[in-house]
Chains A and B, each alone.
Chain A
Amino acid sequence: MLKLENVQSGYGNILAVKGISLEVNKGEIITLIGANGAGKSTTLLTISGIVSCRAGRILLHDEEIHTLGTDEIVKRGICQVPEGRHIFPELTVQENLDMGAFMRNDTKQIKADLDYVFSLFPILEERKNQDGGTLSGGEQQMLAVSRALMAQPKLLLLDEPSMGLAPLIIKQIFEIIRKINEESNTTIFLVEQNANQALQIADRGYVIENGKITITGSAESLLNNQDVQKAYLGL
């Protein structure tokens, strides 16, 4: 479905992603794990077209998307929950969700999707008239995921959904991610520092170090890989 071929990107003089190739197949949960500054977030931002792709190609269903604007990429079904959640602080919860559905015009289906995300996270329905900025960290993460779902993504990019959250909430968020993948067959590309949690739900994984993919394989093989265990699982 999504294919990166030797992608390079970065900021100013700094090259953060130094030639990455990876592939995400339809229906999979793929995780990209790595330390701080390894280039995980930059990879995601490059896929969404926020950071420009300097070399290599990004293909979605064999169509080159790295030359498109972000809104065109979103239109093709790639949605991102960026690191730090990025809730619109002075829009209400409801308005934040409306913005998620910005590209859509099918009012009826939007309403049904709204009910669906409220069923996933009932707390959001209770708070729907509250400003996004007043929510707690966990609630904001729920809102960020819900907002992305309102776009009916074919491919959902998640950037560190566990960051700064209590273990119980992390567990809940990961359960929901798995549920979204199973119920609506949404393909998921998950970037995490929390390698253990991520590999638990993923089908396959890539390890990124210094802007390059160093190890790849099934989630199970990565969990048993000694290097991965030492560097990312703390075993």
Chain B
Amino acid sequence: MDYFIELLFSGLSRGAIYALIALGYTMVYGIIGLINFAHGEIYMIGAFTSFIVATILTILGFPALAIIVLAGLAAVIWSASYGFTIEKIAYKPLRHAPRLSALISAIGMSMFLQNYVLLAQTSDFLPFPQLIPDFDFMEPIAHIVGSSDMIILVVTTLVMIGLTLLIKYTKIGKAMRATSQDRTMAMLVGINVNRIISVTFIIGSSLAAIGGMLVASHIGQINFYIGFIAGIKAFTAAVLGGIGSIPGAVLGSVVLGLTESFATGYVSSDYEDVFAFSLLVLILIFKPSGILGKVDTQKV
């Protein structure tokens, strides 16, 4: 039973990380109908930024909590500015071009960022400092749930609640929903759609940066390639839940995380990806729009 609970928590924390990334995919898709393949790289850049800042601050002798907060903040700001800039450079000029052009641009941007980090940081795995300490109060259950798993779950939950409140109740959140439902009409009520698109990229990138920092601290090493793998998985999760749907992205991520975790635990870690992508194939065969995705119906 302990083993089951251990797998459950590790699956949940895995799912939480996927969710942080998947939200960026699904929100951008919801607003401009584009799969932002460079999103995984944003996550990777978030991890590197927090790595660099945390290393410097550790050398300077800052206290642990200050390092976590400052490194996280730096990662969020830096990744958000990347997300903002990528949209302006690679996607905005192609807004009225065929979808395929923007998709190719996205893949190109992903490769560019990967290789740029490869050149700057080498292909070696760099040891990431353990930012999250092992809490004393977690001691009795430490053999089931690690402290960093717990932190990942707590932080992700708080972020999700914040995001939900933002989207549901604030003016900008309503404008985001309006823009994703009907862009022309959003313009006609005076919403500056370009600004909404930028905000969407900034929010998505910030979430990915938080995910990048949490997971890097959890696993303990990073290199230029982590964004690609995580990006593909999170994209899978977003499609699984129904691309364009925010609750769908979270649900899809949790399902994917649990599937991987149980497959690893009860079958073999070699089959982790096989189970993950088999699940995707099954969903696409039997419910192509994803778990919470809806078939478009429009009233004229």
Contact = CB atoms under 8 A, between A and B. Distances in A.
A84 interface: yes
Interface string B160-194: 00000000000100110110011011111111110
A71 B184 contact: no
Contacts of A187: none
B189 A151 contact: yes
A46 to B, nearest CB: 13
A147 B184 contact: no
Interface-centre pick from A71, A80, A133 (highest chain B CB count, 10 A): A71
Contact of A91 (B181, B188, B193, B298): B181
Interface string A161-199: 000100000000000000000000000000000000000
Contact-size category for A: 20 to 34
A140 interface: yes
Interface residues of B, number: 20
B192 A99 contact: no
A75 to B, nearest CB: 6
A102 B171 contact: yes
A54 to B, nearest CB: 15
A50 to B, nearest CB: 6
B189 A147 contact: yes
A80 B185 CA distance: 9
Given A89-B299, A91-B174, A82 B181 contact: no
B300 interface: yes
Contacts of A98: 171, 174
Given A70-B187, A74-B189, A102-B189, A84 B175 contact: no
Interface in A57-93: 69-71, 74-75, 79-80, 82, 84, 86-91
A88 B177 contact: yes
B174 A86 contact: no
Nearest to A103: B190
A71 B186 CA distance: 9
A184 B184 CA distance: 27
Contacts of B181: 88-91
Contact of A86 (B171, B188, B192): B188
B175 A164 contact: no
B175 A137 contact: no
A48 B184 CA distance: 11
Given A88-B181, A91-B174, A98-B174, A70 B298 contact: no
Given A50-B184, A82-B184, A102-B175, A69 B299 contact: no
A91 B178 contact: yes
A99 B189 contact: yes
B178 A74 contact: no
Contacts of A90: 177, 181
Interface of A: 48, 50, 69-71, 74-75, 79-80, 82, 84, 86-91, 95, 98-100, 102-103, 133, 137, 140, 147, 151, 164
8 closest A-B pairs (Cβ-Cβ)?
A: A74-B190, A86-B185, A103-B190, A70-B187, A71-B192, A88-B181, A71-B190, A88-B178
10 contacts: A69-B192, A75-B190, A79-B188, A79-B189, A87-B185, A88-B185, A99-B189, A100-B189, A102-B171, A103-B189
